């Protein structure tokens, strides 16, 4: 496999991972909103709140990796 194909496959994998994390974030926000509207303030709501910064950090990390691989792809 050439270097170009390898970088493209890494970018595709990272894009798929980014989509999965964003989908988890959307589901987490929807679940928290459902708990809040139902006035069920419990540990589950606080766990959802604590999970958001972790997922946001993951999104930032993955987007930086994608950016680095795109620059590498431009150099090839």
pLDDT tens readout for residues 29-70: 999 999 999 998 889 999 999 999 999 999 999 999 999 999
Asked if 65 and 18 count as a contact pair (C-beta separation under 8 A), the reply is no
Backbone phi and psi for residue 41, each to the nearest 5 degrees, phi listed first: -70, 110
Number of domains in the chain: 1
Find all residues with CB under 8 Å of 36, minimum gap 6, and list them.
45
Question: How many CB atoms within 10 Å of residue 48?
Answer: 19
Residue-level pLDDT at 63:
96
For residue 8, give its domain range. Answer: 3-75
Q: Is the pLDDT of residue 1 over 80?
A: no
- pLDDT, tens digit, for every residue of 27-40? 999 999 999 999 98
């Amino acid at each position: 496999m050439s270097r170009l194909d390898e970088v493209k496959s890494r970018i595709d994998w990272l894009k798929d991972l980014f989509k999965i994390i964003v989908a988890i974030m959307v589901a987490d926000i929807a679940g928290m909103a459902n708990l809040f509207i139902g006035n069920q303030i419990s540990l589950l709501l606080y766990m959802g709140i604590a999970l958001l910064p972790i997922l946001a950090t993951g999104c930032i990390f993955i987007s930086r990796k994608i950016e680095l691989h795109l620059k590498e792809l431009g150099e090839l």
